[in-house]
Amino acid sequence: MEAPLENDLWLGENVMSAERFSDYLETLANRMQAREPETFKEFARLFGPAFRDWFLRQGIVGDEAESLSVRSIGDAAAKLTTGPAREASQVEDALVETLHSTLAARLIYLQAIRADLDSAAILQAQLLRVDPPLISGLDIAVRFRAARVITGDLVDLVDWSDDSTLLVLGDASGKGAAAALYSALLLGCLRAKARRDMPLPELMTALNDLLSETGVVSRYVTLIAALWDKKERRMRFSCAGAVSPVLLRGGEAAFLKMEGFPLGMYHGKEYELESIEIQHGETVVLLSDGVTDQEGSTSEIYGEQRLLELVAQSSSWSSAELADRLLGDVEAFAQGTPASDDQTVVVIRRKE
């Protein structure tokens, strides 16, 4: 069963569909009619302020109800349902009535939030490079799976020069609307600061300083930047705390270990530059940590080893096939466990 929505902040961050929420509360109402003690506690957690007001109106508790914790009120309701039949029936009828009236107001609120988030998701899909442009010599696929309606991950491609293209994958801390807003800020900074032939480490430092100067606390972005040079057949990388790229070469997959401070944490940080020649048929995989950190039914994570084993099998696959199979494998591993973070995969294969 879906976890109860304890307050409006939780609702805004973890909005479920109106249909699922309605089904959940209908189940809750049926359980209340059966006078299950735990159900009254659950209702108290879900609608704490309304529950306190109801107790005051019924005169079941005195003015001290305002200072009672939601949990205490839930416990009191549970005890009342096990009392004399007449009293229990009165409590039941009044609580079910309160449930339905509160439900109607919350559903309207939920639907408005969902409509706003759906509009934001459409706009975000237009801003992010879900369908990357054709780049000579490369086969590129991008796949997103948001933990919520909108994602805090970002992917962008920038024409760097006549013979080079910059690809970036970023992951804003947190998830949901707040992470999406912060990643949009970085995307704007990237497109404003990126200049032709600008050294990658210099770009990373500029982005880091711009974010750190915003004054936004407890927020940062991990980012991997990959600059493809068509003429030299080389890919240059600069990393800001992101998951290291995976290289598939000769049927073996391995991480290209890279490090760096996430963007926006400390002003004035400098970043390293790594370079590797990409041969015909070789593949580079960029990903956010939501992929490897996905939990399964036993709380075990998908992990790096499973990722490498799957990529190692992909020599004959297209970039799109590898991206789809990877996220499909992660979903199968989860066995219904909700994603705790956004999941993004970028597959880059040299095809000529």
- Percentages helix, strand, coil for the chain (3-state, rounded to 5) are 45, 20, 35
User: Tell me, what's the pLDDT at 184?
Assistant: 85
Largest CA distance in the chain: 85
Same domain, 15 and 87: yes
Same domain, 252 and 147: yes
Same domain, 69 and 195: no
- If one compares 319 and 108, the residue with the highest pLDDT of the two is 319
Give mean pLDDT, residues 233-253: 96
Q: Among 11-25, 160-174, 226-240, 241-255, whose mean pLDDT is lowest? A: 11-25
Same domain, 114 and 224: no
On whether residue 2 sits in a domain, the answer given is: no
Same domain, 101 and 143: no
- Report residue 299's pLDDT band, with 50, 70 and 90 as the boundaries: confident
> What percent of the chain has a predicted confidence (pLDDT) above 90?
42
Could you tell me which residues come within 8 angstroms of residue 107 by beta carbon, excluding any fewer than 6 positions away? 18, 21, 22
> Is residue 178's pLDDT more than 90?
no
For 16-48, write each residue's pLDDT tens digit. Answer: 444 455 556 566 666 655 656 566 566 555 555
Residue finishing a domain among 57, 89, 123: 123
Give mean pLDDT, residues 214-233: 91
Mean pLDDT of the chain: 77
Same domain, 47 and 177: no
The span from the CA of 156 to the CA of 71, in Å, is 47
Same domain, 265 and 230: yes
> Is residue 59's pLDDT more than 50?
no
Same domain, 290 and 210: yes
User: Tell me, what's the pLDDT at 24?
Assistant: 60
> Is residue 254's pLDDT more than 80?
yes
Same domain, 177 and 250: yes
Same domain, 165 and 252: yes
Is the full-model pTM beyond 0.75?
A: no
- Report residue 117's pLDDT band, with 50, 70 and 90 as the boundaries: confident
Residue finishing a domain among 68, 91, 123: 123
User: Tell me, what's the pLDDT at 71?
Assistant: 44
On whether residue 47 sits in a domain, the answer given is: yes
The span from the CA of 222 to the CA of 211, in Å, is 12
User: Tell me, what's the pLDDT at 258?
Assistant: 95
> Is residue 182's pLDDT more than 70?
yes
The span from the CA of 11 to the CA of 159, in Å, is 40
- Report residue 293's pLDDT band, with 50, 70 and 90 as the boundaries: very high
Specify the CATH number for the domain of residue 346: 3.60.40.10
Residues 92-130 as b or e (16 or more Cβ within 10 Å = b): beebbebbeebbeebeeebeebbeebeebbeebeeebbe
Same domain, 167 and 309: yes
Domain of residue 321, residue span: 129-350
Same domain, 108 and 134: no
User: Tell me, what's the pLDDT at 133?
Assistant: 74
User: Tell me, what's the pLDDT at 91?
Assistant: 52
On whether residue 3 sits in a domain, the answer given is: no
> Is residue 252's pLDDT more than 50?
yes
Neighbours of 163 (CB within 10 A): 11
Q: Among 19-28, 141-150, 251-260, 312-321, whose mean pLDDT is lowest? A: 19-28
- If one compares 207 and 37, the residue with the highest pLDDT of the two is 207
- Report residue 146's pLDDT band, with 50, 70 and 90 as the boundaries: confident
Give the chain's domain count: 2
- If one compares 337 and 5, the residue with the highest pLDDT of the two is 337
Residue finishing a domain among 123, 157, 174: 123
Neighbours of 160 (CB within 10 A): 20
